[in-house]
Each structure stands twice: as C-alpha cells, then as structure tokens.
A and B are shown apart, each in its own frame.
Chain A
C-alpha cells in the first residue's frame, strides 16, 4: 500500500458545530454511497446518538477521493466522541490520526470544547487546519471567527474553507485541504507489527472487532497477535477496512492503514483502547505511548423496579459490557431497594446513556440511586479505601480523613454572564485559578472544582445561568483532602440507605433541607403523618412532614358503578406497586433520583 496516498484524519469541534454533518458530506462527496443510502447522519448509527445529536462511540469510515491532481486518495475519517466523559477515547482516536479538521461555527466562534479538543489534537502533534461552518447563517461572522482562531489558538486560519455542511457548500475545498494539509503516514512496513487500538466492538458472530491504526508492519489472517498491555494473544481470523456502516474484508493491513482485526476474542476487556497490537512471534520492542486503564469517575446503584427482574438486569449489564469496557458493575444489596448493582461510569452522560439503553433496549424498569464519585477514605489504621457506595462509609471514629476528586475546569462565557458563572462556581466550592479575555466579549474562566459538585446538575445550572451561552470542559486533576460527611435521609424515622450521599460539611445543611423538601413533594400522603428527616452523624439537621391523608373515599357506588369502581381501585393498587416500600411508607421510584434536581432555582 502506497502510504503517500493515505490521509488519516479526524474532525474536532464543539458540540453542535456540525462535525457529524460535515462527516456525512465528506462521505457523500467521495461517492462511496449513493444519496439513497445516506442515512441522516451516517456516522451516528445508535438510536440514542441520533436523538441526542451526539456521537458516543467513535466510528470510522474509509472513503476514496479522486483529487484535482488526478490521483485517488484513501481518506480514513476517524470519528471522535464529542463529550468530556469520553476524553480518553478522544485522545486515543486522535493518536490514530495524522491531522485534524477543526470545525468552528461561523456564528458562535470558539467554545470551551473547541479549545479542549484543539489542545488535545495539538498535544498529539496533529496538523490542525480550521474550517468555518454555517457560513450561510444570517448571524455568521466568518471574519471575526477567523481572527478569533488565530488569536486564541494561534493557528493559521486565513485560508480556512468557508462552508455550509448542511447545505453542501464548498465541501470540495475541505477535501482538497485534507489531501494538501494532512501529512501522509510514514510507517515502516517491514518493521514488526505495531498498531494502536482506538476502539473495539463486540459482535456475537465474530467476537471482538479491534479498530486500529497500523504504525509499522503488517497483519493478515493467521498472524498470531498480542495485546501488549493486557497480554492477551489470539490468531487473526479476518482483517479489513471500514466501509460506511459496513466492514469490508481485505487481504492484509499494512503500515499507515486504518482497519479492523478479528481474532475470535471473547472479551472487549482484552482489547483495551490505547493498547498496542503486535505480532506475538515477532514483537516490536516497545509499545506505543499513552496507554492507560480507563477509570470510572461516577458511581450509582441500579436496581430493578421489580426485584424479580434482577437476573434480567444482570444479563443486560453483561451484554452492554461486552461492547463497553468502561462500564463497571458489581452486585450490591440495599435494605431499601433489594438486590442490584453498583455501576461505574465515565461520567454522568455515560450513566444516562447506559440507563436509557437498559430501559429501552432491554425493557427494564430501573430505580437508580443518586450518582456519586469515588472518595478516598483514609482510616486511622493507615489503610485507604476507595468508597463508591456511601453506605459503606466506615464509622467516623475509624476515619482519619477523606479525599475527594478535583477537576480542572475551563468555562467559556460571554462577559455579561461572568458574574453569574463565578457565583455558581463559588457555590460549588470552586477555586478560582485564572480568567482570560479571549476576545473583547469572551472570557475563559479556569476553576478547580470538586467533581462531586459538577456531576449532577452543574451543566444544566451553567446553561440556565448563562442563557445557554456558557460552554464547559474539564479534566481530572487529582485527589484533595476535604471535610466530607455522609448525609442520611430518614423516612418515618427509618434510615433509607439508598438515599444517603456524601457531601461537603458546609453544604450538608442546605442539601439536607432541599432533599427533604423535594421528597415531601414526591412522597404521597399516607394514612399517617410521615416525617422526612436529614441527618449527619445521627444528628437531625432538617425535617419536613408529609401530612396524613384526610380522605380518599368514593361517595357513590351502585350497581352500574361496580365495574368502574373496580377499575379505579385496580389503578390505585397498580400505582402502589410501582412504589417502593420503606417500612410502612411507600415511596415512588423517582424519589431516589431527587437529589439530582436540587438546584432548581
């Protein structure tokens, strides 16, 4: 394979700036698909992705482009997930590329994610060239945006193609720019095999399908391969390249190419993203840099609404994990909710996606507890436990101190909202680090924020306090010592383990009060008064009361009413079934997620 005719690239952009649409156009213009075959967005083929308009799993497509110089080029477009939860996946996808197209919205200009992604791309030594999208919008200001790109990012933008991906304007220019500006790969075909895994997929017939970029060497059917980090070995069954939405088998993959390998591997955990594939019989001397094990950042409990469906939930999680090595789960038991699982996620979006898939694809009715982060609990005996479930917090007398994860956050916002956003960050225990004017009207705020303050509703709060203008990105900084307490909720004087959460001691009172108020709304009236209390270390800090029900009686029931009356009672009983019994109190399932909606000002 002539490497000079290969271009491996990706598209980076802020969410909604048109990355997927541009990808569609590129595929369309290179003529691999007819218009009829074009799905609305070819790259995003999962339902949820389509609905939310975001890309979750990185996807890849190989197209053939006949350039103006008369040569045919192979363009490997490696799609990257667009959300901060999937930062590591983004970084590995970038590592598989040689160049990147930066898509910037002609009206909105640079956003926090744009910056984060560009810096990530530059970190990987990619040649980044900008494209200004949505130039046909009435509010488009390409000149200003070009200037902004040059000022803020410091890359040449004067000759950036001005395009409209949606309406197919100037797409040719982008293709020519790819050929001209993305460097061709320069691997050594004769060196030992060295390939980067940037994604993998589980297929029930083929087993794991490894998505990789070959740096050096070659691989074909029969090669015995070895994953250098996990140590797994297997015999290659098939190699091939990526059509749009299909796998096209090939004889072999050689240095510079992007393609897939199957080797009857049963577990995606063996083919971790970032790992290096080599030839087991002729291994390369060292693995590609940058591999790390993906850590779950957010944990929550997931329980079947109907305890009888526990095995179904287990099977569903097992199946999802086949495709998503970043999903962790282990069985746990809650007094309030029965048997379920403690699940670990990359972030809240990842959590929501898994939750939705369980509900939609596996038809499960779930009760999810409030998400939390991993705390480090240092005990007086010098040992440290990683706490993922608040119920497992040791007795305070055994705790020396606790640490919580902290992130470096970057928020871009227009000047008028700076005050509101700074206030929000302060409320969330943020530490102000820096403030930069990127243009006369736009500010980049840098904060250190405790992760547990941003996982629930920070993004929503940010949007609502900036009328949707603020954008946000973060990366884990590390662990810091913090004054944390466990907030317990008592319903009718019984502690409900599934409602406990860890909170900073200064926020405990406020959180406890809001939690009680919220639960008061959620819990229906009972035949008796139901006190709802928040407690820290056994001390009550807030209380609300659900008043006893005064009446629920049907005045009339004669011969003709009996059938109707029975239906009414059945409905009432059915409603009760969908609730959880805590002692003598029935609690609706959504109450367990109440903690997520506390910032509703």
Chain B
C-alpha cells in the first residue's frame, strides 16, 4: 500500500512566515495548465504498487482551485491507482477561500477529511501573520463543512506568535475545542530564512534590506514570546486538548480516538509515498525523489510529453543507504508519541538497534531524554522539548 501527495502551489497571498513552495496566482489559465501537467505526471509515472491507502492534497491553498479542477486530479488518480476501501483523502482548506456549495461538491467527489488553517482565533494575531481571513471566516467554513457532511476535520493552530500572550493562546485553544474538531495540529511558529519573519525575527539580512521601516517598527512592538512562554504554550496545548478528549500522538499533532491522520503517519513510520507537483518529494522502495520547483519548467516538461519519471531529468533521485534509512527510522519515528519498535529495527535492517546506537541510547536514557519500555523506544517529556538535540545524536558518522 502506498500514499499519494498532491502539491497545489497556489494561494491568495503569501503569509509573512511562510516558506512553503507557494505563490499567489489568480490566472485560471496557469492553474489549468498546472493541473494538466499534474495529470500527465500521474499518468506517466511508473509504479508497481497501485493500492493507495491515503491521499493528501496540500499547498499552498488547494481551495484556490475550484472543485472541478480538484475532481480532475482525483479522476486521474482513480484511473491509474486502486483506492483502498478505507482510504483517507485530505484536502487543505483555508478560511475565506471556499463556500458551502464548493464544500458540498468537494465532499461528493470523495474528499473525506478537511484540514482547515485557522492558526489563531484572535484577529489581530491573524493580521500580524499576514493571513487573509478573520476568525469569523473560520467559524463559517467549519459550519459549512459539517453541513456538507465532513466528519473528519483537522484544525491547524500556531503558538509563539508575534505579540501573543499565554492568555490569548488559551482563548484560541478554548475556541477550537468548542468547535469540536476530530484533529488538531498545533505548531510553534518557526522563523524560517527567506521569509519576512526571517528578516524581522531571524538574521536573514537579505530580507531585512527589502523591508520598509514601517513594517520593522510595527513588529518591534510585537516581540516573539520567550522560550519559557513558548514551552508554557506547548504544555497548555496538551492540557487543554487532553481534557477535551484528544490525545497527542506526534510532537505537534492531537486526535480524538480513531482520527489520527493516516497519511502523515506514513511519513513518520517510513512508509512509501509518491508525490506529484512542483517541489514534491517521494519515497519509494528506499529511493527519494525530489521534483523540480520551477512551475513553468514543470509544466513544460510534463505537458510536452511522454517521458516516464525514471528518465525525467528534472527529478533529483537519491537512493538511501542502509545508514540513511536507519537514521530516518530513528529521527522521524521518534516524533511519534508511541515511539519506535526496537525489534522492528532489527526486522527492517537485520542488525540490532543496540549494536548501532548502543552508546547513544545509554547516554540519552541516563540523561532522561528517552524512555525504553520493553520493545518501545520513545521521547520523554523533556526529550520532546529538546528533541533536536536528541535526534541529532542518531546521525551516524560516515
């Protein structure tokens, strides 16, 4: 069984913190050409395993496409692949980019999970992030989605936002809990290079030069919460959501029982996935593929024709060594609260985890950063807080 990811790079406006491969686009012509290319890529890609367990349509803002355009992609997938009876098909959706009618149609074409990007229920915080919506837009979108029939909805939240107080964040959590979604992804803001925030809060000088003084002055009054507050927010998330019947199953992900995101768990457990669209990354039978990120080059490549993926010069292909796979098994798998299986490591690589990581494991256990329970290895609470320090220990010397 494999999973499929479809990348839709279009959005209405770039958010100030966003470093995803996305850009504002209002040209229907470009969108259609992109979907043509996507469909060609899907059709011409050679695959062995055709049984699909999950599909994730992400972006960008996929709901800047109309439901017919999304339908074309799903039709192409159904033509090429067999969808499992229990398939999860997620669509990312931003408040302010959809309507009751569109949601009804999306449900009809087979989307059965929505992921709505709320981020915050405080309008001033949304504004500071450069989001296009207000909290009321989210409330409407959520209601319409329920009315359209969606029974599996995720809400994306962000903490550690510019000027955010613990109190404000608590309000957002409470508001979300009231809407009663099945799943919540709660991320701390990451200040990335090549974003406006990278210039304001990071040390990306190339960006600072382009910013006008007005913006810099505005954000001077909106400092990021300090490390301690950020951790308080993180602990608060778990507290509030646990009380509301969610459980944390990954560093930043919470679900009601039975609603963990199947698709993302494929990433964290080392499963195979094929991705389509610009910048998309696939992982099949130990080989990683990265698509080109230039949209025009991508469209030209796939719309002119007929070369299967393995000959596609635009695709960066990296076979992973056993060592690479071991490293990923550890540092990706440990993001899951359930941890990783020690015997599973042996089954997969034919060598005991202890023989590869014995020294590291001993050290991390003694430092209280990881916990070993019978066959399971997982991060401790403290280990989650400083997970980068823990995870980098699992990189092996060449």
Contact = CB atoms under 8 A, between A and B. Distances in A.
Interface of A: 527, 549-560, 562-563, 565-566, 568-570, 572-573, 576
A571 to B, nearest CB: 9
B382 A572 contact: no
Interface of B: 5, 187-190, 227-228, 230-231, 234, 251-252, 264, 266-268, 273, 275, 279-281, 283, 288, 290, 318, 327-328, 331-332, 335, 367, 369, 382, 384-389, 391-393, 395
Contacts, number: 92
B365 to A, nearest CB: 13
A565 B386 CA distance: 15
Contact of A560 (B189, B268, B275, B385): B275
Contacts of B189: 555
A549 to B, nearest CB: 6
Instruction: In the A-B complex, list the 6 residue pairs whose CB atoms are closest, starting with the nearest.
Output: A555-B187, A550-B227, A569-B392, A560-B281, A573-B392, A552-B388
A562 to B, nearest CB: 6
B87 to A, nearest CB: 17
B332 A553 contact: no
Contacts of A549: 386, 389
B332 A562 contact: yes
A113 to B, nearest CB: 41
Contacts of B384: 553
Given A527-B369, A527-B382, A569-B331, A555 B280 contact: no
A572 B264 contact: no
Contacts of A557: 267-268, 332, 335
A527 B367 contact: yes
Contacts of A566: 327-328, 331, 395
Most chain A CB atoms below 10 A, which of B335, B382, B388? B388
A572 B389 contact: yes
B237 to A, nearest CB: 11
A572 B5 CA distance: 29
B392 A551 contact: no
A530 to B, nearest CB: 14
Nearest to B234: A551
B283 A572 contact: no
Contacts of A555: 187-190, 251-252
A568 B386 CA distance: 14
B188 A553 contact: yes
Nearest to B387: A553
Given A551-B386, A560-B280, 14 more contacts: A527-B386, A551-B230, A552-B388, A553-B386, A554-B387, A555-B252, A557-B335, A558-B264, A559-B5, A560-B275, A562-B332, A563-B290, A572-B388, A572-B389
Contacts of B230: 550-551
Nearest to B273: A559
Nearest to A528: B367
Given A566-B331, A570-B395, A559 B267 contact: yes
Contacts of B391: 569
A286 to B, nearest CB: 64
Nearest to A560: B281
A555 B266 CA distance: 18
A550 B388 contact: no
A141 B387 CA distance: 68
A568 to B, nearest CB: 7
29 contacts: A527-B367, A527-B389, A549-B386, A551-B386, A552-B385, A552-B386, A553-B188, A555-B187, A555-B190, A555-B252, A556-B252, A557-B335, A559-B266, A560-B5, A560-B279, A560-B280, A562-B267, A562-B281, A562-B283, A562-B332, A563-B288, A563-B318, A566-B331, A569-B388, A570-B392, A572-B388, A573-B392, A573-B393, A573-B395
Contacts of B367: 527
B328 A562 contact: yes
Contacts of A553: 188, 251, 384-388
A551 B251 CA distance: 13
A552 B275 CA distance: 29
B281 A572 contact: no
B288 A558 contact: no
A550 B328 contact: no
Nearest to B252: A555
Contacts of B387: 552-554
A388 to B, nearest CB: 37
Contacts of A563: 281, 288, 290, 318
A569 B266 CA distance: 21
Contacts of B393: 573
A552 B393 CA distance: 14
Contacts of B251: 553-555
A275 to B, nearest CB: 52
B293 to A, nearest CB: 11
Contacts of B332: 557, 562, 565
Contacts of B389: 527, 549, 552, 572
Nearest to A549: B386
Contacts of B395: 566, 569-570, 573
Given A550-B228, A570-B392, A572-B388, A556 B190 contact: yes
A566 B323 CA distance: 13
B172 to A, nearest CB: 16
Contacts of A558: 264, 267
A186 B331 CA distance: 82
A579 to B, nearest CB: 13
B267 A554 contact: no
B385 A551 contact: yes
Contacts of A568: 388
Contacts of B335: 557
Contacts of B188: 553, 555
Q: Which of A527, A549, A550, A551 has the most CB of B within 10 A?
A: A551
A558 B5 CA distance: 11
Nearest to A550: B227
B231 A550 contact: yes
A569 B391 CA distance: 7
Nearest to B226: A550
A167 B388 CA distance: 61
Contacts of A569: 331, 388, 391-392, 395
A227 B275 CA distance: 80
Nearest to B21: A560
A287 B2 CA distance: 91
Contacts of A576: 392
Contacts of A554: 190, 251, 387-388
A133 B189 CA distance: 63
A559 B275 contact: yes
A568 B389 CA distance: 11
A345 B386 CA distance: 45
A570 B396 CA distance: 9
Contacts of A572: 388-389, 392
A554 B252 CA distance: 9
B94 to A, nearest CB: 17
Contacts of B318: 563
B280 to A, nearest CB: 7
Contacts of B331: 565-566, 569
A556 B273 CA distance: 18
